[in-house]
Chains A and B, each alone.
Chain A
């Protein structure tokens, strides 16, 4: 486990809303934090190598790009099979996230979650059906939960302690 030092935390705080849109973004971060560009680049490369930074990238907004039907599909799969199926479902191009999560029997039986994106609900359901076909008899039950309203949305505030 890698622990962050004070400079790493300041880099996180300085960049968590985005990378500066200037020709030399790492130099600008360095200027704000009062150190050299080389140190900033080395620290960020290190955080990238050890997975603290997942990647430096553009995150498309599915909704404004026309993918208006986002469904949280939840699946009841045998605990021994969930890892294998989770991996295969995570590789599908219409799935953005797939996770194993705990069940709460009897109220909540589902242990595999996959976010499915499509142009509308019908397309989401068609894609969910493709997952159902892949799982075959190993799919003991599934549901799709569509969001009906955003009740709150703030950026994750991380690295503040």
Chain B
């Protein structure tokens, strides 16, 4: 990554225009050509320096359900519970964390009402209580990651 790549990441974290030639407009601000901006974005996506580029949707405002859930899984049961939890298509991400609350996953459902029923199904499947920790308030900025 060179200076131009870093400038692209820093500038395009904030916004990208909705115009006929948006890459040209953004490239002009960065002092490069349109095709160079497109080429560099492709390379950074391929190298996974960017995890995505495009519209970031607000899941709840699209009408879906979204929640963070945790389970206290004993170490000797971890692999079994992991398989059972991951088998649910509503489980989007799942992370092991170094805590008594050892398994943390995000549920994404088509409707908010589905969250509770999927949680009950996971509890029945695993035999463990699922702690539902939906966000009650968001203090999100997330636009200022300087590279």
Binding site for B on A (CB under 8 A): 1-4, 12, 15-19, 21-27, 37, 41, 44-45, 47-48, 50-62, 64-65, 72, 82-83, 86-87, 89-91, 93, 95-102, 104, 107-108, 117, 143, 145-161
- Nearest chain B residue, comparing its CB with the CB of A89: B139
Partner of A19, one of B20, B55, B93, B145: B55
Q: How far is the CB of A35 from chain B (nearest CB, A)?
A: 15
- Nearest chain B residue, comparing its CB with the CB of A148: B96
Find out whether the CB atom of B13 lies under 8 angstroms from the CB atom of A59. Answer: yes
Chain A facing B: main interface SS? mixed
Which chain A residues border B38 with CB–CB below 8 Å?
Answer: 21-23
Q: How far is the CA of A59 from the CA of B57 in the complex (A)?
A: 13
Q: How far is the CB of A98 from chain B (nearest CB, A)?
A: 4
Q: How far is the CB of B122 from chain A (nearest CB, A)?
A: 13
Q: How far is the CA of A161 from the CA of B64 in the complex (A)?
A: 9
Find out whether the CB atom of B20 lies under 8 angstroms from the CB atom of A152. Answer: no
Find out whether the CB atom of A23 lies under 8 angstroms from the CB atom of B92. Answer: no
Q: How far is the CB of B95 from chain A (nearest CB, A)?
A: 4
Which chain A residues border B97 with CB–CB below 8 Å?
Answer: 72, 145-148
Q: How far is the CB of B79 from chain A (nearest CB, A)?
A: 10
Contact A19-B134, Cβ < 8 Å, known A151-B94, A158-B59, A158-B64:
no
Partner of B99, one of A1, A26, A143: A143
Partner of B57, one of A19, A37, A54: A54
Which chain B residues border A64 with CB–CB below 8 Å?
Answer: 47-49
Partner of A21, one of B9, B41, B47, B136: B41
Q: How far is the CA of A145 from the CA of B138 in the complex (A)?
A: 19
Q: How far is the CA of A12 from the CA of B135 in the complex (A)?
A: 23
Find out whether the CB atom of B55 lies under 8 angstroms from the CB atom of A107. Answer: no
Which chain A residues border B52 with CB–CB below 8 Å?
Answer: 17-18, 58-59
Contact A151-B20, Cβ < 8 Å, known A98-B139, A99-B137:
no
Find out whether the CB atom of A60 lies under 8 angstroms from the CB atom of B9. Answer: yes
Find out whether the CB atom of B135 lies under 8 angstroms from the CB atom of A99. Answer: yes
Which chain B residues border A161 with CB–CB below 8 Å?
Answer: 63-64, 110-111
Contact A100-B136, Cβ < 8 Å, known A19-B53, A23-B24:
yes
For B106-147 the 0/1 string (1 means CB < 8 A from A) is: 101011000000000000000000011111111111111111
Interface residues of B in 82-97 (CB under 8 A from A): 82, 85-86, 91-97
5 pairs of residues in contact across A and B, judged by CB atoms under 8 Å: A55-B56, A56-B54, A60-B147, A102-B136, A155-B92
Find out whether the CB atom of B96 lies under 8 angstroms from the CB atom of A59. Answer: no
Find out whether the CB atom of A16 lies under 8 angstroms from the CB atom of B57. Answer: yes
